[in-house]
A and B are shown apart, each in its own frame.
Chain A
């Protein structure tokens, strides 16, 4: 069996990560990770990016600082994280215990025609994150996803980083709300934040 056929199904992975999510709030990077998160079940504690490429981890950091008792997850793709590589250093230097970054890594830019990304050309994001100071690992099996789910649900012990090796097959789009103002208000209301 080739390595490709053994790779995990992205929808199954994200459904597993979102099971019993409790207080978890999630920032989804643009493109497929947002579709995966929406397909796993929309939630007021989800914020779906439709742009801001390279910014997901930093949005997660600002949120993690403001909500220190809540676990914060940045769920993004290899291409999005590659555009914000410097943010791995910025986040790691701050050591936010309640922040986890999970990269769904298919080694390709799925949204734009499946061009190979740097991870598809051999760059290991989790090793870069580990060198920066994250508790980092690569996940290749579903039982590891379940273990990761229990870790990201905690608001201490981070910052964590994981790449999850997923297949590069085409997945149907599942389109979340695109209105940013609506999403912002919904998210803040979920957290009980008074306006403004």
Chain B
């Protein structure tokens, strides 16, 4: 039997064929207003709508990564060239980034990443749990400030604040989107 993952439906996340939820549209608009010109990502269902909005925007260069640390290095290069960038990933990818984040701290590069959480709320896959627990400690150990997003109505304000602190304050920021807010992952048997 094949099983196929689909973005959660029936929650606050939009289904595969529908428009982004209002808060997702807000996050996109906030990042555009912050003059983000590059977006890199390792896909996650929770980021699917945001990824699509960026890919449709001719002003933003989007890059699919083979591993998350590539997006950290890409952000450094973008800033060296005068552009702002954002990295989208899920919590399981955070551990892949830790050494590359030394680059951002040492050179005081601005850094903004939006992380969808797995393994912390109604998670069916035990393999997601250890990295979920380690996500915030990994970021904090290497000098990245963590903001947690629990309610969709706070999304725009939180991402806007993180972007300002990153790009104006030259800091390193991670916004964690809680799994409870994103909704339970739905699996469909074919």
Contact surface of A with B, Cβ cutoff 8 Å: 27, 47, 49-67, 84, 86-87, 89-90, 93-94, 180-181, 183-184, 187-188, 191, 193, 196
Contact = CB atoms under 8 A, between A and B. Distances in A.
Contacts of A54: 69, 73, 100
B70 A191 contact: no
B7 to A, nearest CB: 24
A75 to B, nearest CB: 14
Contacts of B168: 196
B80 A184 contact: yes
Contacts of A56: 73
Contact of B77 (A63, A94, A193): A63
Contacts of A67: 81-82
A187 to B, nearest CB: 5
B103 interface: yes
A180 B105 CA distance: 9
25 contacts: A47-B80, A49-B103, A51-B99, A52-B100, A54-B73, A55-B69, A55-B73, A55-B76, A55-B103, A62-B75, A62-B76, A62-B77, A62-B81, A63-B77, A65-B78, A66-B77, A66-B78, A86-B66, A86-B70, A87-B73, A180-B107, A184-B108, A188-B80, A188-B82, A196-B110
A90 B65 contact: yes
Given A52-B76, A180-B108, 18 more contacts: A55-B70, A55-B103, A56-B73, A58-B70, A58-B71, A58-B74, A66-B77, A87-B70, A90-B63, A180-B106, A181-B106, A184-B79, A184-B107, A188-B82, A191-B80, A193-B82, A196-B168, A196-B170
A52 B103 contact: yes
